[in-house]
Chain A
Amino acid sequence: MVKILHLVAQRLALGLLVLFAVSLIIFLGVSLLPGDLCQEIQGQAATPETVAVCRDELGLNLPAHTRYLHWLAGMVQGDFGTSLANKRPISELIGVRLGNTFFLAGVTAIIAVPLALILGILAALYRNSLYDRLINASTLISISFPEFFIAYILILFFSVKLHWFPSLSNVSPDTAFGDRLYHVLLPALTLTLVVLAHMMRMTRAAIINLLASPYIEMAKLKGMTRSHIILHHALPNAWAPIANVVVINLAYLIVGVVVVEVVFVYPGLGQLIVDSVQKRDIPVVQACSMIFAATYVLLNMAADIISIVTNPRLLHAR
């Protein structure tokens, strides 16, 4: 037990270190800007006076480490600074959108994870059957198709031809839960198709890997049924790799979300970052990148920790 705690603490420390490095890169990346940030923002209209005022407002006259600490301290307290485009506090822009994005990712996870596990286990059970080959083919398709292609195909069929779902997912903060779910279903379905195949295939691989071990052979020789072996003997040992795959795919989700949100005009963080990149609203892009990157790092850290905690060899250490 002590060993596990030690390992987990180690991962947590490493995760924090990575987060720190990431924040440093995101913040200092901006100083790579050729020329001056204020000059860039104002473009043709820049005069020495307006640039000076702007530099003063953004605190660019302070040394870089002071600005970084200020930025970091503000962010930890939920204050991300102000947007360059509309002078509103960024936390105000992000607040609702962050919730929307997590809602979309959450709905996707609720659909995709159980489905992937069941289909993956079935593929392992009926290895090399037609069903298994179908799964392999679908993996190829899902890694080859751009997200927006899948999204528009779904829109074409489910909203234009069948009129089942709206093609725009414009929810507002006061949309009721059921309505919100209905609006978010098509984007969630797109994301499910994007991550499903990989999860399914890794589940299959994890179980097939285990099926080659001697204790499974033993169970077979004792005359147990295939499904009993898979569910009671293989699966408990497969949780660690499967949990790992699930979490890694959830981490992938937060990136896939960007394109899908734009297609469905869903008011989430992904759309905000794309809009802000177009406007070159650097503080907003920094804040959004930091949130995305932090979620990604934390999920990857969670994957590590889960695989440590669910490892039976570590749980029952002699």
Chain B
Amino acid sequence: MARTTDDIASRQRPSKARQFWIALKKAPFTAKMGMGIVLLYVFVALFAPVLTPYGESEVVGSEFEPWGAKFLLGTDNLGRDMLTRLLFGARNTVGIAFVTTCLAFLIGGVSGILAAIYSGWMDQVFSRIVDILMAIPALIFSLLLLTIFGTSIPILIVIIAVLDSTRVFRLTRAVSLNVVVMDYVEAARLRGEKIPWITFREVLPNILSPLVAEFGLRFCFVFLTIASLSFLGLGIQPPTADWGSMVRDNATLITYEDITPLLPAAAIAILTVGVNFIVDWFLQKTSGLRDGQ
């Protein structure tokens, strides 16, 4: 008897994992492609040392060797294997962008929710700081800060994360403002819950879906910014394999109709397109927004 009611219950509402699987199967082709791309990049990033024939910054041949059996994609300006560096780039470029985005969300998200919960002067202070930071174009501001602090990976991560957290702050604050006026938040307050509880147990779960979508978009933005800075020679520094600086170092090959320098740039573009596909699907699912209208 008990077993049949269990069966009925499970038929009425599939488990969370199963719901997720069904949604995944129903996803449009573009979203599946996006997920495939992201999974591939994650796989390459995790297993780069196993997949690559040579060491990350090991000089294995002469400069600018053409594509061939020994070096599938040739060698770069210092005689390092292009394929190896391309695969390691997934780890460095994507990894750094991911860490930066997480940090930006930590800073922007927490301050945004706190601004919404406390409102009043705290909200004013945070919002005005953000207004001013956003008045300076992010790339120019990061160039200025990089001049002051010098270029190294931790500094790069912190600078980009802080500049990018401004946009996360604005979004989080805006969506949280709608949530903090709800009765259940009021109830939690009257119950005597502390601010961390209200932040993480009451507000955060209810603003999660716009934040997840924003995470995808922010990741793309951060990823492109870091790639641009590296391309300018001011981001990730050699000998770390990185897609932006790989384009810069080998750009001369283009004048000989060799597309090798375009490959790292294409790797950047493909990942961004993939993430955008997923975000589009996610936005349509969670908000019923179609086509941004």
Interface residues of A (CB under 8 A from B): 18, 21-22, 25-26, 29-30, 32-34, 136, 140-141, 143-149, 152-153, 155-156, 160-161, 167, 201, 205, 208-209, 251, 254-255, 258-259, 262-263, 273-274, 276-278, 280-282, 285-286, 288-289, 292-293, 296-297, 300
Give the residues in chain B near A277, CB-CB below 8 Å: 143, 146-147, 232, 234
Taken together as a complex, chains A and B put the C-alpha atoms of A148 and B226 apart, in Å, by: 13
Taken together as a complex, chains A and B put the C-alpha atoms of A144 and B224 apart, in Å, by: 8
Contacts A22-B132, A156-B262, A277-B234; A148 near B228 (Cβ below 8 A): yes
Give the residues in chain B near A18, CB-CB below 8 Å: 131-132, 135
Which parts of B245-293 form the interface with A (CB within 8 Å)? 247-248, 251, 254-257, 259, 261-262, 265-266, 268-269, 272-273, 276, 291-293
Taken together as a complex, chains A and B put the C-alpha atoms of A145 and B224 apart, in Å, by: 8
Whether A296 lies near B269 (C-beta < 8 A) is no
Taken together as a complex, chains A and B put the C-alpha atoms of A282 and B227 apart, in Å, by: 23
Q: List 7 A-B contacts (CB under 8 A).
A: A21-B135, A29-B144, A30-B148, A144-B272, A146-B224, A258-B140, A300-B135
Residue ID in chain A nearest B30 by CB atoms? A140
Taken together as a complex, chains A and B put the C-alpha atoms of A153 and B224 apart, in Å, by: 17
Count of chain B residues with Cβ under 8 Å from any Cβ of A?
A: 46
Taken together as a complex, chains A and B put the C-alpha atoms of A273 and B144 apart, in Å, by: 9
Taken together as a complex, chains A and B put the C-alpha atoms of A201 and B292 apart, in Å, by: 10
Whether A144 lies near B144 (C-beta < 8 A) is no
Give the residues in chain A near B66, CB-CB below 8 Å: none
Whether A289 lies near B136 (C-beta < 8 A) is yes
Taken together as a complex, chains A and B put the C-alpha atoms of A30 and B148 apart, in Å, by: 6
Taken together as a complex, chains A and B put the C-alpha atoms of A255 and B232 apart, in Å, by: 13
Whether B132 lies near A276 (C-beta < 8 A) is no
Whether A274 lies near B276 (C-beta < 8 A) is no
Taken together as a complex, chains A and B put the C-alpha atoms of A149 and B247 apart, in Å, by: 9
Give the residues in chain B near A155, CB-CB below 8 Å: 254
Contacts A274-B143, A289-B136; A156 near B269 (Cβ below 8 A): no
Task: Judge if B233 is at the interface, Cβ distance under 8 Å.
Answer: yes
Whether A25 lies near B136 (C-beta < 8 A) is yes
Task: Judge if B149 is at the interface, Cβ distance under 8 Å.
Answer: yes
Taken together as a complex, chains A and B put the C-alpha atoms of A167 and B140 apart, in Å, by: 25
Give the residues in chain B near A251, CB-CB below 8 Å: 137
Taken together as a complex, chains A and B put the C-alpha atoms of A156 and B263 apart, in Å, by: 13
Whether B136 lies near A149 (C-beta < 8 A) is no
Per-position binary interface string of chain B over residues 234-246, scored 1 when its CB falls under 8 Å from any chain A CB and 0 otherwise: 1000000000100
Tell which of B143, B233, B244, B257 touches A273, judged by Cβ atoms closer than 8 Å.
B143
Whether A258 lies near B141 (C-beta < 8 A) is no
Is chain B's binding surface mostly helix, strand, loop or mixed?
helix
Contacts A34-B149, A140-B276, A156-B262; A286 near B144 (Cβ below 8 A): yes
The smallest beta-carbon distance between B152 and chain A, in angstroms, is 12
- Among A273, A286, A288, max chain B CB count under 10 A is at A273
Taken together as a complex, chains A and B put the C-alpha atoms of A259 and B142 apart, in Å, by: 14
Per-position binary interface string of chain B over residues 191-228, scored 1 when its CB falls under 8 Å from any chain A CB and 0 otherwise: 00000000000000000000000000000100010011
Whether A205 lies near B137 (C-beta < 8 A) is no
Contacts A147-B228, A205-B292, A258-B139; A161 near B268 (Cβ below 8 A): no
Give the residues in chain B near A209, CB-CB below 8 Å: 293
The smallest beta-carbon distance between A265 and chain B, in angstroms, is 11
Whether B292 lies near A144 (C-beta < 8 A) is no
Taken together as a complex, chains A and B put the C-alpha atoms of A201 and B234 apart, in Å, by: 32
Task: Judge if B46 is at the interface, Cβ distance under 8 Å.
Answer: no
Task: Judge if B103 is at the interface, Cβ distance under 8 Å.
Answer: no
Whether A144 lies near B220 (C-beta < 8 A) is yes
Whether A22 lies near B232 (C-beta < 8 A) is no
Task: Judge if B169 is at the interface, Cβ distance under 8 Å.
Answer: no
Tell which of A160, A280, A293, A296 touches B150, judged by Cβ atoms closer than 8 Å.
A280
Task: Judge if B145 is at the interface, Cβ distance under 8 Å.
Answer: yes
Residue ID in chain B nearest A156 by CB atoms? B254
Contacts A22-B136, A160-B257, A296-B136; A149 near B146 (Cβ below 8 A): no
Contacts A152-B262, A205-B293, A259-B231; A273 near B132 (Cβ below 8 A): no
Give the residues in chain A near B257, CB-CB below 8 Å: 156, 160-161
Whether B140 lies near A289 (C-beta < 8 A) is yes
- Among A30, A146, A205, A292, max chain B CB count under 10 A is at A146
Whether A208 lies near B293 (C-beta < 8 A) is yes
Taken together as a complex, chains A and B put the C-alpha atoms of A285 and B244 apart, in Å, by: 22
Give the residues in chain B near A34, CB-CB below 8 Å: 149
Give the residues in chain A near B251, CB-CB below 8 Å: 152, 263
Taken together as a complex, chains A and B put the C-alpha atoms of A306 and B153 apart, in Å, by: 42
Whether A278 lies near B233 (C-beta < 8 A) is yes
Taken together as a complex, chains A and B put the C-alpha atoms of A93 and B178 apart, in Å, by: 51
Whether A285 lies near B276 (C-beta < 8 A) is no
Give the residues in chain B near A147, CB-CB below 8 Å: 228
Whether A146 lies near B232 (C-beta < 8 A) is no
Tell which of B137, B149, B231 touches A292, judged by Cβ atoms closer than 8 Å.
B137
The smallest beta-carbon distance between B139 and chain A, in angstroms, is 5
Tell which of B141, B233, B261, B292 touches A289, judged by Cβ atoms closer than 8 Å.
B141
Give the residues in chain A near B139, CB-CB below 8 Å: 255, 258
Residue ID in chain A nearest B234 by CB atoms? A277
Residue ID in chain B nearest A31 by CB atoms? B148
Whether A152 lies near B265 (C-beta < 8 A) is yes
Contacts A262-B232, A278-B234, A289-B140; A148 near B146 (Cβ below 8 A): no
The smallest beta-carbon distance between B242 and chain A, in angstroms, is 13
Besides A33-B148, A277-B143, 8 new A-B residue pairs in contact (Cβ under 8 A), listed by A number: A26-B136, A30-B148, A143-B276, A144-B273, A205-B293, A258-B140, A280-B150, A293-B141
